A and B are shown apart, each in its own frame.
Chain A
Amino acid sequence: MIVLVLLGYSILGIYEFVPLYKQKLWRDFWVNAGLALLSITIAILQCFDLKIPSPSKPTMDLINMLFGE
């Protein structure tokens, strides 16, 4: 699975980053790179079946506490 993820992201890298680099759109390039880094990290974590914390539980608890739902 991890090989597939890395392969997918490599293809995506060529498809997305090369045109931005060639056009010298540095802001777009770096923001996209930041998002890509976050996205590949989450993808790899999910490959290893690691649980990623969800904001739903704390939000539910907070609303239960405030409104007693």
Chain B
Amino acid sequence: MYKEQITDKEAFCLIALFIMGSTLILGAGGEAKNDSWLAAIVGLIFAIPMLFIYSRLLFLFPEKDLFDILNIIFGNFFGKIISILYIWYAFHLGALVLRNFGEFMNTVTMPETPMLVSLFCMGMICVIAVNLGIEVISRFSAYVFPILIFILVFIDLLGITNIHFSNIKPFLGNGITPVLKGGFLSFSFPFAESVLFLGVFFSLKTKKSPLKIYLSGVIFAGVICISLTARNILVLGEFREKLYFPSYAAVSRINIGDFLQRMEGSVALVLLLGVFIKTSICLFVACKGISKLFNLNHYSSITIQVGLLMIYFSRTVFDSTMEMQNWAFKVYRYYAFPFQVIIPIFIWIFAEVKIALGKNKSKGAASK
């Protein structure tokens, strides 16, 4: 069977776009208010040890994906139970990201179009991408990455005229607790979501580099997210907390000489690309997991049905935008913690023990 391979550069772009995904529009840091930018930095720092664990797992089991690793470490039965948990997480995260996109379209850009239409269009594009394979998704991300970064930097520069440095004060006005809580939120959404790349990076061309890619990709995306959060605070001030999509509102204020205005379309474009990559990765991991669970010939045979289920689920998962916001900023961090921290730490400990025992056994056999 043809083996899919992605280069380091493509993997970097893929992980950076995945992290930026819906964060670019929803923002990071949540309840830390005007210290949200600080909370995003704290979240990034919290995430770095986990990135070491994820990449260590990839290093210990080269060319194996998350589901293979689980089967090797925990055996067929327990491995499959944990696989089901990760399939659910990937599927649910994909649906949540899709819903963020649907809410954005329904609230801001196309309020009269039923949400199902935007969900269906985006979902089907992701299905096609996943059907074509991870190589195509990563190559696409490598093409659009520079364009996206150019747009973000350009829009940030144009927004300088609307910046009010007084908005960032008082620094740590509510103490350190909201910053730490916001840091925990930024850790779980989006930085530690990169746990799903355990199901993608088996296809890396260079087997030595998962740590380098993980660190560079997440830190780069982190810097972008932090700078955008800071820009939103500097432009919108306290008003930011009342908005569902602060980036859109911040960019819509750009008006240079009555000529450069209505730039918010660029935010929609950035969100579109980010959501496409993130949902595709989630769908890919979910399909890969299901195909490993049932020993299927190829994951592409179930992509359409899983994609359709993801679309339907994203439609029914929340009743309103408020519920979505509440879930994203208050519930998600606790819900995602076992998938992002507890289970990976267990997998890592068991993997190290298993490999150490294997080495001892082979040494013993050689000495006999």
Q: Does A pair with B?
A: yes
Whether A46 touches B312, Cβ cut-off 8 Å, given contacts A27-B296, A56-B327, is yes
Q: Which of B191-199, B329-337, B342-350 makes up part of the contact surface?
A: B329-337
* B304 with A12: CB separation less than 8 A: yes
Closest CB in chain B relative to A2 CB, distance in Å: 14
Residues of A30-69 at the interface with B, using a CB-CB cut-off of 8 Å, are 31-32, 35-36, 38-39, 42-43, 46, 51-52, 54-56, 59-60, 63, 66-67, 69
**Are B301 and A32 in contact, with the CB atoms below 8 A?**
yes
Do residues B331 and A42 form an inter-chain contact, with CB atoms below 8 A? no
User: A28's closest neighbor in chain B, by CB?
Assistant: B301
Contact A67 B298 (CB under 8 A): no
Q: Size class of B's contact patch?
A: 20 to 34
The residue of chain B having its C-beta at the shortest distance from the C-beta of A51 within the complex is: B316
Q: How far is the CB of B367 from chain A (nearest CB, A)?
A: 44
Decide if B305 touches A59 in the complex (CB within 8 Å).
Answer: no
Is the beta-carbon distance between A59 and B309 smaller than 8 angstroms?
A: no
A28-B298 contact in complex given A35-B305, A54-B318, C-beta closer than 8 Å: yes
Cα-based distance from A54 to B317 in the complex (angstroms): 5
Verify A43–B312 contact, CB threshold 8 A. yes
Contact for A66 among B316, B327, B334, CB less than 8 A: B334
The binding surface of chain A is classed by DSSP as helix
Whether A25 sits at the interface, judged by CB under 8 Å, is: yes
- CB-based contact A28/B304 at 8 Å: no
B152 located at the interface, meaning its Cβ lies under 8 Å from any Cβ of chain A in the complex: no
Q: How far is the CA of A17 from the CA of B295 in the complex (A)?
A: 18
Question: Which B residue sits closest to A41, measured CB to CB?
Answer: B312
Are B308's CB and A56's CB within 8 A?
no
Q: How far is the CA of A16 from the CA of B323 in the complex (A)?
A: 36
Contact of B305 with A36 in the complex, beta carbons under 8 Å: yes
Which A residues lie within 8 Å of B48 (CB)?
none
Q: Are A52 and B334 in contact, CB atoms less than 8 angstroms apart?
A: no
Tell me which residues across on chain B come within 8 A of A16, comparing CB atoms. 301, 304-305
Residues of B within 8 A of A31 (CB): 290, 294, 296, 301-302
CA A28 to CA B219, docked complex, whole Å: 39
Tell me whether B297 is interfacial, beta carbon within 8 Å.
yes
Complex contacts, A35 vs chain B, CB 8 Å: 302, 305-306, 309
B131 to chain A: closest CB distance in Å? 11
B294 contacts A39, C-beta separation under 8 Å: no
For the A-B complex with A12-B304, A27-B296 known, give 6 more contacts whose Cβ atoms are closer than 8 Å: A27-B294, A28-B301, A31-B302, A54-B319, A55-B317, A56-B318
Q: List 8 A-B contacts (CB under 8 A).
A: A20-B301, A31-B294, A31-B301, A32-B302, A35-B302, A54-B317, A56-B317, A56-B323
